[in-house]
């Protein structure tokens, strides 16, 4: 799913603005109390009662990745977001790339305690109005049309509400009194339909591979009726839905897409205007329900000398206890109270109230847990070595599994065969791809659309939970791995990598440091682009949407046979095939990206020296050549159209060429760029500015001082913005990468200016990743810490599994005030998807923390 996440520092700035706005407008206030019902329309613009929130398009479809299952009418039921996607939809169970309605108007009507939205499907000139209003023990959802349904939508448009399967596994339902069990796995009756009648998906792409038969499939309803009772046995999940008009249909969306939800739906009757659908929905609430406190702490544990502060997250109606305690778990299996001390109130952040518990004074080696009231955490160590191994699985397991064009084995298990050996064809012009790639009206290359580009079937990693070679994240990853190699010289060797035979074996040393082999893997993909185009291209990705959502062995994503249009589709002569599944190279010129690539190749040339000298020399030569060519083409004036990206790309290229060559032309260009950039945004550029210190005189460092002071002030503000005292991102993609990047910047600053930036600015970043964050206390690194992500959005997500060492994006801040990271549902990419560059950054940060702790000993 992942697009560019190179540009975190700019977002860092935006996050600061958002924090300011949130604190300005406040998060509390009076509410209008309905006379008829406990659901109150609060100042956040949603209906609220203890145990239930009803959101009505507080979150809208962003268009970023289309239907992200985070928009529409939604239920947060006893603290868990169990329903989403309430709205007028055009299929029984909509997929990610199906058409989404846009909100053209949303009125929160406090006078009559209702919320009304106007939804529009532009393609069909089709508008509908939805009104949600509390009534009796629940609320009414009413859908109105001013004009009858467009003919093309008859039998297709309906009101849908989606329920999260994982919240209802092992529970039951009643449809008009007929009992059923919610399916753990889908296997329902399907209906084959002609594509003539299909509502087209995003940009005319299709999620369904119909093998040339002009058909698609939809599930048939599992049950129909007028009253649907959901999980009556579970007071926390019990919901009643009554249709006051047409029948209700219950579907399982997982029959067409593994990330589908259970859907309840009523079709809109043709030729009807006015009220066309009306449901009464009541969700049970437990009297005076309060959310269980979350004791957020590091699942990895703590070094004796660091600050140790747990952040306790409380229901806003909870009266905080006075104290919390730390217990030691003894060798006899006993719990012994080590420390009890007062908790410190922090205040309100988003929807919860926070107190903190400081146990920094406890330094004794051992196993501990925290107790707050009746609540106990899992056990964690305090020990000098807690951070020693935290990055091993990321390098030993996660990166090898991501390696493209390679067969990857681990003991008795094959993760995947050698993939994408049929890379790649020139992408066609004027093409909008579904993963954010696009082609302009010219290829800007020597290749014709559809022509084979030699040499691209080598190196690279699957970018994220998907499988594309995304150039920006590759540049970021190579730069980061080189930085780790140069700062910490990690020579861990637990992977066997044979490029010639495309073979990787996990837990099998081969005499070469794994980090160099991974740098080589990324570099091979980047240099292949320069060999073919003398510059970077956007990336390489499958052409068809029905290939893109691939779940399973990557080597089956294409047939690994070069496409030959003279053969019939699905026909093969053993060497070539007539199936047009080869990946496309998106080749338009992107100057800022070319600069990133120049920076990455230049950095790689240093690391690879002595290991792969030929490749090292080729990288540096290609980087220098591309630097000259890019300036000849783009000029020496900083471009404003690409804005920050352009500026930052050129800064990185200049710095890396300077470090590799010590040639003063790069120093001059770097200085021309860096001060202006710092004036625009300190936090975006302070890391590069600091890394450049050794290449300039003392005056440079002195000049930098005022910027460091300014940056420190920005960091200190985080303590007022959230109880964790760190940067928390607010994008539709959760913020762990911004946070890790921030902590790494703090490491470089601490090294250069130890009297200004203390090491705690670095430790607190890792603590957050390891569990000291909102919503839960899970470690966001699979396999690291006592309790960590066991269900994540890796390429094995359909198995509700994980890839060890992967780092997920973390806690998503859903509007207006709901932090979420699902532990039972892997398919939220913005919460659970591993991406290559965040994992590379994590390896650096883990080593940085070890370095600091050794330094202090
Ligand atoms: Ca991708
Ligand atoms: Ca090795
Ligand atoms: Ca092929």
411 Cα to the center of ligand 1, angstroms: 28
475 Cα to the center of ligand 3, angstroms: 27
Question: Which is it for the CA torsion 91, 94, 97, 102, positive or negative?
Answer: positive
468 Cα to the center of ligand 1, angstroms: 5
Residue 539's pLDDT band, with cuts at 50, 70 and 90, is very high
Residues of the chain above pLDDT 90, percent = 92
527 Cα to the center of ligand 2, angstroms: 22
CB 656 within 8 A of CB 620: no
Interior CA angle at 22 toward 21 and 26, to 5°?
A: 120
Gap between the Cα atoms of 473 and 756, Å rounded = 32
pLDDT beyond 90 at 1: no
Predicted confidence (pLDDT) per residue in 787-801, tens digit? 999 999 999 999 999
**Mean pLDDT across the stretch 826-851?**
97
pLDDT beyond 90 at 289: yes
399 Cα to the center of ligand 2, angstroms: 12
Residue ranges near ligand 3 (ion) with Cβ within 5 Å: 422, 558-559, 561, 581-582
pLDDT beyond 80 at 248: yes
Predicted confidence (pLDDT) per residue in 374-387, tens digit? 999 999 999 999 99
Q: Which residues touch 667 (CB under 8 Å, ≥6 apart)?
A: 654, 658, 695, 696
563 Cα to the center of ligand 3, angstroms: 5
Residue 64's pLDDT band, with cuts at 50, 70 and 90, is confident
779 Cα to the center of ligand 2, angstroms: 27
Q: Tell me which ligand sits closest to the C-alpha of residue 520.
A: 2
422 Cα to the center of ligand 3, angstroms: 5
Gap between the Cα atoms of 6 and 518, Å rounded = 19
648 Cα to the center of ligand 1, angstroms: 22
249 Cα to the center of ligand 1, angstroms: 35
487 Cα to the center of ligand 2, angstroms: 19
Gap between the Cα atoms of 497 and 689, Å rounded = 36
Predicted confidence (pLDDT) per residue in 588-598, tens digit? 999 999 999 99
Predicted confidence (pLDDT) per residue in 720-776, tens digit? 999 999 999 888 899 999 999 999 999 999 999 999 999 999 999 999 999 999 999
Q: Which two tokens stand for residue 408?
A: 């990857």
Q: Tell me which ligand sits closest to the C-alpha of residue 437.
A: 1
470 Cα to the center of ligand 1, angstroms: 6
537 Cα to the center of ligand 1, angstroms: 15
Q: Tell me which ligand sits closest to the C-alpha of residue 468.
A: 1
User: Would you give the distance in Å from CA 816 to the centre of its chain?
Assistant: 19
788 Cα to the center of ligand 1, angstroms: 24
Predicted confidence (pLDDT) per residue in 134-170, tens digit? 999 999 999 999 999 999 999 999 999 999 999 999 9
The radius of gyration of the chain from alpha carbons, rounded to an integer in Å, stands at 28
Residues of the chain above pLDDT 70, percent = 95
Q: Which residues touch 616 (CB under 8 Å, ≥6 apart)?
A: 604, 605, 606, 607, 608, 609, 610
Q: Tell me which ligand sits closest to the C-alpha of residue 496.
A: 2
513 Cα to the center of ligand 2, angstroms: 5
791 Cα to the center of ligand 1, angstroms: 20
Can you give the pLDDT at residue 641?
A: 58
Can you give the pLDDT at residue 17?
A: 41
Can you give the pLDDT at residue 640?
A: 56
Q: Which of 186-195, 555-564, 628-637, 805-814 has the lowest mean pLDDT?
A: 628-637
pLDDT beyond 50 at 338: yes
What ranges make up the beta strands (E) of 529-627? 539-541, 562-563, 576-577, 584-586
Q: Compute CA distances 169 → 184, 230, 254, 311, 406, whole Å.
A: 6, 11, 13, 31, 37
496 Cα to the center of ligand 2, angstroms: 5
835 Cα to the center of ligand 1, angstroms: 9
Can you give the pLDDT at residue 269?
A: 97
User: Would you give the distance in Å from CA 104 to the centre of its chain?
Assistant: 27
Predicted confidence (pLDDT) per residue in 633-688, tens digit? 988 876 655 677 888 999 999 999 999 999 999 999 999 999 999 999 999 999 99
Predicted confidence (pLDDT) per residue in 484-495, tens digit? 999 999 999 999
423 Cα to the center of ligand 3, angstroms: 8
474 Cα to the center of ligand 3, angstroms: 24
Can you give the pLDDT at residue 300?
A: 98
540 Cα to the center of ligand 1, angstroms: 9
Helix ranges restricted to H, 455-590: 471-488, 514-533, 545-548
437 Cα to the center of ligand 1, angstroms: 9
Q: Tell me which ligand sits closest to the C-alpha of residue 507.
A: 2
Q: Which residues touch 33 (CB under 8 Å, ≥6 apart)?
A: 40
Q: Tell me which ligand sits closest to the C-alpha of residue 422.
A: 3
Predicted confidence (pLDDT) per residue in 78-117, tens digit? 999 999 999 999 999 999 999 999 999 999 999 999 999 9
Gap between the Cα atoms of 779 and 427, Å rounded = 40
**Token pair 């080189």 in the structure block, residue:** 482
572 Cα to the center of ligand 3, angstroms: 10
Residue 856's pLDDT band, with cuts at 50, 70 and 90, is low
What is the pLDDT of the chain when averaged over all its residues?
94
Gap between the Cα atoms of 353 and 350, Å rounded = 8
Can you give the pLDDT at residue 643?
A: 75
Can you give the pLDDT at residue 647?
A: 87
Residue 405's pLDDT band, with cuts at 50, 70 and 90, is very high
The dihedrals phi and psi of 347, each to the nearest 5 degrees, come to 120, -160
Q: Tell me which ligand sits closest to the C-alpha of residue 538.
A: 1
pLDDT beyond 90 at 24: no
**Token pair 């030691």 in the structure block, residue:** 328
Can you give the pLDDT at residue 638?
A: 66
Can you give the pLDDT at residue 376?
A: 98
457 Cα to the center of ligand 2, angstroms: 22
Can you give the pLDDT at residue 537?
A: 98
DSSP per-residue codes, 216-262: EEEEPPSEEESEEEE-TT-TTT-EEEEESSSPEEEEEGGGT-TT--E
493 Cα to the center of ligand 2, angstroms: 4
Residue ranges near ligand 1 (ion) with Cβ within 5 Å: 2, 463, 466, 468
Predicted confidence (pLDDT) per residue in 406-415, tens digit? 999 999 999 9
Residue 857's pLDDT band, with cuts at 50, 70 and 90, is low
**Mean pLDDT across the stretch 508-520?**
98
């Amino acid at each position: 799913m992942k697009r560019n996440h190179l540009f975190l520092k700019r977002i860092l700035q935006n996050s600061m603005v958002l924090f300011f706005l949130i604190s300005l407008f406040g998060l509390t206030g009076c509410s209008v109390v309905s006379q008829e019902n406990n659901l109150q329309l609060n100042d956040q613009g949603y209906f609220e009662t203890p145990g239930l929130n009803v959101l009505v398009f507080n979150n809208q479809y962003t268009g970023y990745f289309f239907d992200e299952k985070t928009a529409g009418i939604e239920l947060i039921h006893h603290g868990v977001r169990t329903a989403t996607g309430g709205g007028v939809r055009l299929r029984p169970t909509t997929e990610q790339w199906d058409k989404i309605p846009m909100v053209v108007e949303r009125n929160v009507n406090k006078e009559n305690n209702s919320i009304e939205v106007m939804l529009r499907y532009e393609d069909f000139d089709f508008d509908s109005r939805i009104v949600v209003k509390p009534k009796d023990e629940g609320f009414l959802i009413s859908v109105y049309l001013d004009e009858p349904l467009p003919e093309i939508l008859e039998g297709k448009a309906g009101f849908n509400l989606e329920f999260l399967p994982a919240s209802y596994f092992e529970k039951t339902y009643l449809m008009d009194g007929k009992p059923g069990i919610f399916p753990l796995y889908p296997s329902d009756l399907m209906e084959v339909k002609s594509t003539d009648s299909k509502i087209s998906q995003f940009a005319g792409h299709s999620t369904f591979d119909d093998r040339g038969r002009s058909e698609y499939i939809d599930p048939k309803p599992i049950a129909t009726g007028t009253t649907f009772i959901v999980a009556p046995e579970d007071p926390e999940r019990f919901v009643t839905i009554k249709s006051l008009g047409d029948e209700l249909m219950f579907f399982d969306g997982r029959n067409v897409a593994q990330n589908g939800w259970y859907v309840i739906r009523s079709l809109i009757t043709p030729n009807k205007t006015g009220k066309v659908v009306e449901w009464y929905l009541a969700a049970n609430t437990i009297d005076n329900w309060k959310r269980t406190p979350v004791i957020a702490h590091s699942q990895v544990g703590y070094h004796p000398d660091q600050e140790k502060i747990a952040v306790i997250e409380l229901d806003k109606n909870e009266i905080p206890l006075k104290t919390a305690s730390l217990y030691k778990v003894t060798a006899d299996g006993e719990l012994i109270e080590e420390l009890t001390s007062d908790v410190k109130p922090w205040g309100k952040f988003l929807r919860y109230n926070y107190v903190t518990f400081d146990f920094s004074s406890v330094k004794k080696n051992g196993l501990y847990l925290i107790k707050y009231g009746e609540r106990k955490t899992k056990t964690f160590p305090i020990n000098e070595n807690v951070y020693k191994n935290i990055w091993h699985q990321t390098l030993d397991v996660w990166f090898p599994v991501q390696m493209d064009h390679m067969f990857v084995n681990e003991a008795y298990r094959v993760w995947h065969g050698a993939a994408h050996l049929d890379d790649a064809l020139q992408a066609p012009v004027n093409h909008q791809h579904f993963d954010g790639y696009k082609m302009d009206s010219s290829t800007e290359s020597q290749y014709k659309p559809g022509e084979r580009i030699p040499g691209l079937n080598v190196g690279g990693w699957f970018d994220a939970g998907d499988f594309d070679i995304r150039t920006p994240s590759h540049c970021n990853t190579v730069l980061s791995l080189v930085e780790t190699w140069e700062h910490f010289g990690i020579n861990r060797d637990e992977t066997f990598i044979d490029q010639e035979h495309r073979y990787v074996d996990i837990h099998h040393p081969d005499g070469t440091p794994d980090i160099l082999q991974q740098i080589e893997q990324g570099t091979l993909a980047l240099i292949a682009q320069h060999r073919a185009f003398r510059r970077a291209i956007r990336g390489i990705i499958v052409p068809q949407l029905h290939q893109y959502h691939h779940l399973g062995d990557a080597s089956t994503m294409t047939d690994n046979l070069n496409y030959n249009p003279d053969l019939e589709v699905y026909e093969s002569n053993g060497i070539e095939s007539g199936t047009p599944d080869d990946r496309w190279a998106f080749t338009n010129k992107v100057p800022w990206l070319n600069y990133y690539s120049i920076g990455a190749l230049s950095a790689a040339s240093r690391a690879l020296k002595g290991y792969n000298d030929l490749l090292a020399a080729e990288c540096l030569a290609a980087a220098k050549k591309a630097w000259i060519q890019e300036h000849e083409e783009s000029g020496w004036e900083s471009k404003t159209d690409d804005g920050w990206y352009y500026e930052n790309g050129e800064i990185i290229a200049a710095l890396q060429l300077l470090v590799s060559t010590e040639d003063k032309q790069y120093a001059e260009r770097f200085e021309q760029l860096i001060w202006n950039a710092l004036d625009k945004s300190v936090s975006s550029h302070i890391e590069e500015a600091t890394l450049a210190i050794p290449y300039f005189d003392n005056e440079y460092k002195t000049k930098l001082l005022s910027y460091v002071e300014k940056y420190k002030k920005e960091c200190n503000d985080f303590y007022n913005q959230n109880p964790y005292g760190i940067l928390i991102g607010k994008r539709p993609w959760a913020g762990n990468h911004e946070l890790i990047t921030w902590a790494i910047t703090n490491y470089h600053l601490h090294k250069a200016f130890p009297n200004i930036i203390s090491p705690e600015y670095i430790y607190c970043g890792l603590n957050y990743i390891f569990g000291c964050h909102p919503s839960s206390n899970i470690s966001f690194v699979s396999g690291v810490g006592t309790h960590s992500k066991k269900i994540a959005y890796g390429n094995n997500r359909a198995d509700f599994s994980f890839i060890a060492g992967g780092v997920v994006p973390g806690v998503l801040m859903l509007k207006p005030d709901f932090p979420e990271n699902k532990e039972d549902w892997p398919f939220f990419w913005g919460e659970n998807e591993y991406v290559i560059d965040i994992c590379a950054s994590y390896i650096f940060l883990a080593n940085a923390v070890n370095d600091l702790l050794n330094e202090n000993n």
